[in-house]
């Protein structure tokens, strides 16, 4: 697995996720940053540095899928792992069909996330 300079951005309005995920990511050898909204991420410098996005579906304001679409249309597509607390099973195939690497339902295991990250980094 490629490590060190790989930058992963977490975008989730849930504080529990913003606090816990970056620790797991850093412990697993990634660089990590966390944002509470799609807008905050777009305004940051992280857009150009991020190699993989862990993106919540149900964000307030611009939703996860909207952000994913927005980046694609800007030509700045980033491999994306969607995460969601809504548990709607029809969501996963729809998001994967639109180019997402994976869609994980909260709560997910650390191994499931790291497996998805590995797939994302390979994709990049």
Partner 1 sequence: MRNARRDPDPAIGERGLKLIIDTIPALAWSARPDGSAEFFNQHYLDFVGFSAEQARDWGWTAALHPDDAGGLAESWRRIMASGAPGEGEVRLRRYDGEYRWFLYRANPLRDDQGAIVKWYGVNTDIEDRKRAEQELRRSEAFLAQGQRLTHTGSLWWDVSTGEVIWSEGNYRIMDLPTTITPTVDLVMQRVHPEDLPIVRAMLERSTREGATFDLEHRLLMPGGSVKHVRVVLHNVSQSAGQPEFVGAVQDVTAARTAEEALNRAGSELARVARMTTLNALTASIAHEINQPLSGIITNAGTCLRMLDAAVPDIQGARETARRTIRDGNRASEVIARLRALYTKRAFTLESLDLNEAIREVIALSQTDLQRNHIVLQSELAPDLPAVTGDRIQLQQVTLNLLRNASEAMADVQDRQRLMRIRTEREVGDRVRVTVRDAGSGLPLESVGSMFDAFYTTKSGGMGIGLFVCRSIVERHHGRLWAEPNDGPGATFSFSIPRRPADASDAASVLMTA
- Are 11 and 50 in contact by the 8 Å Cβ rule? The answer is no
Per-residue b/e over 18-34, b at no fewer than 16 CB within 10 Å? Answer: beebbeebeebebbbbb
Helix (H, G, I), strand (E, B) or coil at 54: strand
* Among residues 1, 2, 16, 96, the one that binds partner 1 under rule CB under 8 A: 16
Name the nearest CA neighbour of 61 among 70, 53, 52: 70
How far apart are CB 108 and partner 1 at their closest, in Å? 7
Taking CB under 8 A as the criterion, the residue among 48, 73, 86, 90 binding partner 1 is 86
**Spatial separation of the C-alpha atoms in residues 82 and 2, rounded to whole Å:** 21
Restricting to residues 17-46, name those near partner 1 by CB under 8 A.
17, 19-21, 23-24, 27-28
Q: Which of 42, 58, 62, 69 binds partner 1 (CB under 8 A)?
A: 58
Q: How many of the chain's residues bind partner 1 (CB under 8 A)?
A: 23
C-beta closer to partner 1: residue 35 or 71: 35
Chain residues in the site for partner 1 (CB under 8 A): 14, 16-17, 19-21, 23-24, 27-28, 58, 83, 85-87, 105-111, 113
């Amino acid at each position: 697995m490629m490590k060190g300079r790989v930058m992963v951005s977490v975008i989730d309005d849930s504080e529990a996720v913003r606090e816990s995920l970056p620790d797991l990511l850093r412990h697993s050898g990634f660089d990590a940053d966390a944002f509470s909204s799609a807008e905050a991420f777009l305004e940051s410098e992280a857009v150009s540095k991020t190699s993989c996005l862990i993106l919540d579906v149900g964000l307030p304001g611009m939703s996860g899928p909207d952000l994913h679409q927005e980046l694609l249309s800007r030509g700045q597509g980033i491999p994306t792992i969607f995460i969601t607390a809504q548990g709607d099973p029809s969501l996963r195939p729809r998001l994967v069909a639109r180019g997402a690497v994976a869609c994980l339902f909260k709560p997910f295991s650390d191994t499931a996330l790291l497996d998805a990250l590995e797939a994302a980094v390979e994709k990049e």
